[in-house]
Amino acid sequence: MTVPIGLEIMRLPFIYISTLLLMALAIHPADAQNLVHNGGFEDYVDCPVKMSNLNRDVEFWNAPTLGTTDYFNQCSKTKLGIPINFKGKQEAYEGQAYTGLYLFAPKDYREYIQAELLETLQKGHRYRLNLVLSLSEKSDGAVMDFGAVFSEKHLSVHTKRQLSSAILASQTMKVSHAKQFSAPGFYDDKKEWMQLSLDFVARGFEKNLILGNFKSNGSTEYLNFGKGKTREQGYAYYYIDDISVVYLGPEYKPNQSYVLNHVNFDFDRFELQPKAKQSLKDVYDYLKKNPNLKVDISGHTDDLGSEEYNDVLSKERAKTVANYLIRLGLQKDRITSKGYGNKIPLDSAITDKARRKNRRVEFVMTEFVDDE
């Protein structure tokens, strides 16, 4: 049997490839990067002395409206200290600082906080917003409504009332609809911190985060503790700490073809490039969270070389990706791989750039049916 030219080149690197994949598995970061500046409010300009001091005393955070949000720090000897302050008693969730704001007050008075993110969020990718909050002891009631808005730039709205849908829609920049945290009940714990989490898919403009209650008093779910005040007279004041936005990965749609980022191969090779590992980790994580899906992998080459040789090379590229996903932990029966040679180019131009673009791997996720 005559071995096609170049096939021996492809047979040699298997030990090298296995070593490379094992090394890649060992160096995943333990925690995703927090995209929120100063999410624990530990960085400050001055130790708090007077109330309504968020804009004045905290690094990276400010209020997007005329609402007078407060900042608390253990260093303060005034009513803005920790754990004792003018709204009650609460230790910091971690560190020595947190912020405080009204989520419910007479005449729709509201307070908010906002901060610029470390980077603009990627369109079509998934993120998770996390934070903790605790109801202050001197609150008259509790709410179920707390949410987040994302915008292109910092908001600056001349109002003390809620940031309604109409106000947000009237801004000259791109602003998202308010995304509500899913509340299992009223946020009524005055002793322990309550953990909130919200997963969402970015639209690609989000660079600024705003937090608060975006509903009017009439639309807000409010629990009156019966302290002698009516609903119209009641206040709900909350401490907030440990805010983070972390990247979860792309949002993949079933039956749609995707080109794997950073999985463009060198000429005549099928080893994975170092940057490819995160793209494949994203695919694995998504499949792990969606056990009803399987993945079909296709390998492709440029137009150089014989058709027979390119068919073999494209199959090896698809197998390399499939084997990597298996090493990460994906079951073999949820993966298929196939090579198409140079039959389906993304770019038909006769240039080095086009050829590199065509040396790729694509995948499609489809419904998985377990035969057992």
pLDDT digits over 101-146, tens only? 999 999 999 999 999 999 999 998 899 999 999 999 999 999 999 9
**Does position 22 have pLDDT exceeding 50, yes or no?**
no
Instruction: Say whether the peptide bond before residue 13 is cis (omega within 30 degrees of 0).
Output: no
Amino acid occupying residue 204? G
pLDDT at 357: 86
Q: Is it the case that residue 205 has pLDDT exceeding 70?
A: yes
Q: State the pairing for strand pair 113-116/61-62.
A: antiparallel
Q: Which residue spans within the chain are E strands per DSSP?
A: 61-62, 70-73, 84-85, 88-89, 97-104, 113-116, 125-135, 141-143, 147-151, 179-180, 194-201, 208-212, 222-224, 236-250, 257-259, 293-299, 335-339, 361-367
Give me the pLDDT at residue 370, please. 59
What does the pLDDT read at residue 29?
Answer: 35
Phi, psi of 213 (to 5 degrees): -100, 115
**Can you name the CATH fold of 54-250?**
Jelly Rolls (2.60.120)
Contact yes or no for 339/320 (Cβ under 8 A): no
Identify the residue with better confidence: 62 or 372: 62
Residues 6+ apart with CB under 8 A from 46: 56, 57
Domain ranges of the chain: 7-30+252-367, 54-250
User: At 360, is the pLDDT very low, low, confident or very high (cuts 50, 70, 90)?
Assistant: confident
Mean pLDDT of 241-258: 91
* pLDDT for 135: 98
Query: Checking phi first, is residue 362 left (phi over 0); if not, alpha (psi -120 to 50) or beta?
Result: beta
pLDDT digits (tens, 9 = 90+) for 167-203: 999 999 999 999 999 988 999 999 999 999 999 999 9
> Higher-confidence residue: 302 or 6?
302
Global pTM value: 0.73
CB 17 within 8 A of CB 271: yes
**What number is the average pLDDT over the span 290-301?**
94
Class of domain 7-30+252-367: alpha beta
Q: Do domains 7-30+252-367 and 54-250 have the same CATH topology?
A: no
Query: What is the average pLDDT score of the chain?
Result: 88
Over residues 68-108, the pLDDT tens digits come to 999 999 999 999 999 999 999 999 999 999 999 999 999 99
The tokens for 315 are 């199959």
Tell me: the pLDDT tens digits for 23-63?
333 333 335 799 999 999 999 999 999 999 999 999 999 99
